[in-house]
């Protein structure tokens, strides 16, 4: 179970001085597997702490350390006066992919829904229950805002028929109404199998770990169900 430490901002503290970059990198390498990228190291205004944003996949992790690195805080820092979650703001700011990644996602698009000069990538598993919940919400929002949905299949191992369904939809040229529909897959052509495997390979390397995942035209990322239309809006601004 995760522990969240909530800190209220208090006045009168000097700005934090961050530890040397090498020391921060050594700490991050000890905590995370793989090759984590330090996206940002900066003092937190009016707190005697240093904020470290680590990108290890699509969802950034925000840590806080003091100058001598004797203490590490993992949790939400809340500005009680302003009513802001500083940790969430930092996480949202750095949850983003670059232009080259957006170009690759365009090549991977399996189906589209709607028309417009704005777009979002909807990465989903055909049998993902949360993707099914998101689909009608996303469609309504897309219609209202003239946004095209660019769909990319990413079947997960926990759903045994999901991969075959994705392959069948691609091979048969089925319409968008089939992306989360229950049906028995039959058309499993080699071209469809290769395409789905290509999706899985690229998205896994990108750091997509679950569905639904949305990536906006501006590169911003939404992992999981959005809590409001505002969270969708930020993907096209």
More confident residue, 77 or 45: 77
Among 37-41, 157-161, 198-202, where is mean pLDDT lowest?
37-41
Residue showing tokens 């179970």: 1
Give dist(CA 65, CA 49) in Å, integer: 6
Cα separation values, 221 from 27, 58, 89, Å: 26, 7, 13
Cis peptide before 133 (omega within 30 of 0): no
User: What band does 226 get if pLDDT is binned at 50, 70 and 90?
Assistant: very high
Question: Which token pair is 97?
Answer: 């992919």
Pairing of strands 118-124, 84-85: unpaired
User: What band does 142 get if pLDDT is binned at 50, 70 and 90?
Assistant: very high
| Beta-carbon contacts of residue 186 (< 8 Å; ≥ 6 apart) | 168
More confident residue, 167 or 79: 167
Mean local confidence (pLDDT), 175-188: 97
Residue 1: burial class (beta carbons within 10 Å; 0-12, 13-18, 19+): exposed
- pTM score over 0.95: no
For 51-103, how does the pLDDT look when each residue is reduced to its tens digit (9 = 90+)? Answer: 999 987 888 999 999 988 899 999 999 989 889 999 989 988 899 999 999 99
Among 9-18, 134-143, 156-165, where is mean pLDDT lowest?
9-18
Beta bridge partners, 153, equal: 124
pLDDT of residue 123: 98
Rg (CA), the chain: 20
Give dist(CA 42, CA 53) in Å, integer: 9
| Beta-carbon contacts of residue 230 (< 8 Å; ≥ 6 apart) | none
């Amino acid at each position: 179970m995760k522990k969240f430490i909530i800190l209220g901002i208090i006045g009168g503290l000097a700005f934090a001085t961050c530890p040397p970059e090498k020391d921060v990198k050594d700490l991050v390498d000890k905590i995370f597997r793989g090759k984590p990228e330090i996206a940002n190291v900066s003092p937190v205004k009016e707190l005697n702490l240093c904020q470290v944003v680590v990108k290890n996949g699509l969802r950034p992790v925000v840590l806080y350390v003091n100058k001598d690195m004797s203490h590490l805080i993992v949790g939400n820092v809340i500005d009680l006066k302003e009513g802001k979650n500083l940790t969430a703001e930092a996480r949202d700011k750095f949850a983003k992919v670059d232009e080259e990644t957006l170009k690759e996602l365009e090549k991977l698009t399996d189906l589209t829904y709607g028309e417009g000069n704005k777009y979002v990538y909807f990465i989903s598993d055909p049998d993902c229950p949360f993707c099914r919940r998101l689909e009608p919400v996303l469609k309504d929002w897309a219609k209202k805002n003239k946004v095209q949905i660019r769909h990319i299949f990413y079947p997960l191992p926990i759903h045994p028929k999901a991969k075959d369904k994705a392959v069948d939809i691609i091979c048969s040229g089925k319409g968008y109404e089939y992306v989360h529909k229950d049906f028995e897959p039959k058309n499993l052509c080699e071209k469809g199998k290769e395409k789905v495997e290509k999706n899985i390979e690229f998205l896994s390397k990108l750091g997509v770990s679950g569905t639904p995942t949305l990536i906006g035209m501006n590169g911003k990322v939404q992992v999981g169900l959005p809590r409001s239309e505002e969270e969708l809006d930020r993907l096209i601004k």
